[in-house]
Amino acid sequence: MITGALRFQRYAPPLIVFFAVIVLWEVLVDLLNIQRFLLPAPSVILEAFFRTFSTIMSSAAYTIRSAVIGFLIGAGTGILVALATARWTTIREGLMPFAIALNSVPIIAFAPIMNNWFGSTNPMSKIMIVAIITFFPMMINMVRGLTLVEPAKLELMHSYATAPFEVLTKVRIPNSLPYLFNALKVCSTLALIGAIVGEYFGGPRESLGVYILQEAQLFRFDNAWAAIIISALLGIAFYLIILAAERVAIPWHVSVEKR
Amino acid sequence: MQSVVLLKNVNKSFGSAGRPTTVALKDINLEIGPREFISLIGPSGCGKSTLLRTIGDLIEVTSGELLVNGKPARQARINREYGMVFQAPVLFEWRTVLKNVELPLEIMGVPKTERTQRARAMLKLVELQNFERHYPWQLSGGMQQRVAIARALAFRPELLLMDEPFGALDEITRERMNAELLRIWQETQTTVVFVTHSIPEAVFLSTRVVVMSARPGRISDIIPIDLPYPRNVETREHPHFFELVTTVREALRKGEEMRET
């Protein structure tokens, strides 16, 4: 049982830091007379946030859609490919070096190519970027989860003369779940980055990336900052959804229990 | 009466092409009858774990005959005729205590109600009936090992193979677990082959202690333990217990000397 006092003790330090930074920001902008186009004060951003909220959200809807669809495709394929490699070891040995190499490539650099292939206003150009960005971490982590099984567990299953498929469903897949959720958390962040940055290279007018770019070019930095805050909130929301799913799916795991 | 385990001139060597082979087991002859409790004891590298693993068909023998319940070890494994307990409990973190014990039954296709019933009975046997909904990390090391024993016994194997199951436990817990294992062995009428480093443990538990020596791994002596049952705390303070401990210790030393000469 976490009592009210304990809960306060846990959440108080980050809250204090958060408000201290905001206050400091506000005071410094005022004292040093920082120009609005360099850094708007929090109060100005907050005002812009409420003024433009509905405009930003309608742009954000497009970006969220690209991010979520791309995420589902990328993470889904990553999981399926990983499962296939658990079954056919040669595939794994052939694919893993490339997957690890490609995972360190900044995929976002391909955004202009995707815009060229699909057309910058076609949602597919962003969905594909997100799908590729999320595929590699998902696949690599999932393969690790399926293969890094305690040898004694496999020996025990061998002593029961267990069929390979049952070893997969009863040992390898449950073993991979913590890895899977870690990858999903990474991918949730990557998906949003991929979608927004992809839009910087060109996209429909009603999208978060294009909105931020356009407002910045028009020197409406307060609006740009408001949109950035919304993208940050979206990223956090995405992450929290995965966290909640993890709690439901693997209540036995230490990372869930210790929180 | 048919022997549960029969080893005739069993040899096992490890090695790959171009490297000298290590003889892990040399000319092993051993017959284990029903309801025996056999301890394998010896210094590190004497092949006691290897011997246990060959009986369990986790390692193949190089030459010789190895029968479990009159069948080749491989067939006995496929028929699921033995249960295995390792030094680590090897519990599945994602399963509750009850589900861990049910695991072998699940794999063997036992219907759900029956396997829950049987797993509960086994947990009662190891006195963990109040912990069936716990996850492994919520239990102490000794309790986890009891779950592993319950799991190994859940499908009522005729043979229980135990590879230093209490090696990681402290002395007090170990002695308690010894007493419990003895009680379980008497209740279940299982044959046990038990690998250990500890002389008192071997003497306390066994009907016979098989003394092994290293390089090459071989059986150097077999000592029958004629301590009366029930064995309990007083058994450990009995003069005859100490005599037997001394006998085993001397047999171990003699095995070592044979190697040096």
Quick one: pLDDT at residue A259?
Answer: 43
Q: How confident is the model at residue B161 (pLDDT cuts 50, 70, 90)?
A: very high
Contacts of A160 in chain B (CB under 8 A): 80, 104, 107-108
Quick one: pLDDT at residue B139?
Answer: 92
Quick one: pLDDT at residue A95?
Answer: 83
| A249: nearest CA partner in chain B | B94
CB-based contact, A164 to chain B, within 8 Å: no
Quick one: pLDDT at residue B154?
Answer: 87
Question: Are A170 and B86 a contacting pair at CB < 8 A?
Answer: no
Contacts of A152 in chain B (CB under 8 A): 86, 88, 90
| A177: nearest CA partner in chain B | B94
| Dist CA A234 CA A244 (whole Å) | 15
| Dist CA B25 CA B23 (whole Å) | 6
Mutate to test the interface with B, among A158, A159, A173, A257 (most CBs of B within 10 A): A159
Quick one: pLDDT at residue B49?
Answer: 92
Contacts of B133 in chain A (CB under 8 A): none
Q: By mean pLDDT, which of A84-98, A237-251, B24-38, B159-173 is the weakest?
A: A84-98
Considering only CA atoms, which of B77, B81, B84, B123 is closest in space to residue B100? B123
Per-residue pLDDT tens over the stretch B84-130: 999 899 999 999 999 999 999 999 999 999 999 999 998 988 889 99
Q: What was the ipTM of the complex prediction? A: 0.86
Q: How confident is the model at residue A155 (pLDDT cuts 50, 70, 90)?
A: very high
Mutate to test the interface with A, among B71, B80, B92, B133 (most CBs of A within 10 A): B92
Q: Which percentage of chain A shows pLDDT scores above 70?
A: 96
Per-residue pLDDT tens over the stretch B196-212: 999 999 999 999 999 99
Q: Is residue A2's pLDDT more than 60?
A: no
Strand B63-68 versus strand B71-72 pairing type = antiparallel
The mean pLDDT of chain A is 89
Per-residue pLDDT tens over the stretch B45-89: 889 999 999 999 999 999 999 999 999 999 999 998 999 999 899
Q: Which percentage of chain B shows pLDDT scores above 90?
A: 65
| Dist CA B111 CA B123 (whole Å) | 18
Question: Are B92 and A250 a contacting pair at CB < 8 A?
Answer: no
Considering only CA atoms, which of B111, B116, B145, B152 is closest in space to residue B132? B116
Beginning with the edge strand found earlier in the chain, give each strand of the sheet holding B5-14 in spatial order: B22-32, B5-14, B63-68, B71-72
Question: Are A252 and B56 a contacting pair at CB < 8 A?
Answer: no
Quick one: pLDDT at residue A3?
Answer: 62
* For residues B217-226, average pLDDT: 93
* For residues A71-75, average pLDDT: 96
Question: Are B88 and A162 a contacting pair at CB < 8 A?
Answer: no
**Is pLDDT larger for residue B19 or for residue B229?**
B229
Domains of chain B: 5-81+158-260 (3.40.50.300), 89-156 (no CATH)
| Dist CA A189 CA A235 (whole Å) | 6
* For residues B161-165, average pLDDT: 93
Domains of chain A: 61-257 (1.10.3720.10)
Q: Is residue B260's pLDDT more than 70?
A: no
Quick one: pLDDT at residue A211?
Answer: 94
Per-residue pLDDT tens over the stretch A221-256: 899 999 999 999 999 999 999 999 999 888 888 665
Q: Is residue A257's pLDDT more than 60?
A: no
Quick one: pLDDT at residue B241?
Answer: 94
Q: Is residue B1's pLDDT more than 80?
A: no
Q: In the 3-class helix/strand/coil scheme, how is chain A assigned residue by residue?
A: CCCHHHHHHHHHHHHHHHHHHHHHHHHHHHHCCCCCCCCCCHHHHHHHHHHHHHHHHHHHHHHHHHHHHHHHHHHHHHHHHHHHHHHCHHHHHHHHHHHHHHHCCCHHHHHHHHHHHHCCCCHHHHHHHHHHHHHHHHHHHHHHHHHCCCHHHHHHHHHCCCCHHHHHHHHHHHHHHHHHHHHHHHHHHHHHHHHHHHHHCCCCCCCHHHHHHHHHHCCCHHHHHHHHHHHHHHHHHHHHHHHHHHHHHCCCCHHHHCC
| Dist CA A86 CA A165 (whole Å) | 10
Beginning with the edge strand found earlier in the chain, give each strand of the sheet holding B218-224 in spatial order: B82-85, B159-163, B191-196, B37-41, B208-213, B218-224
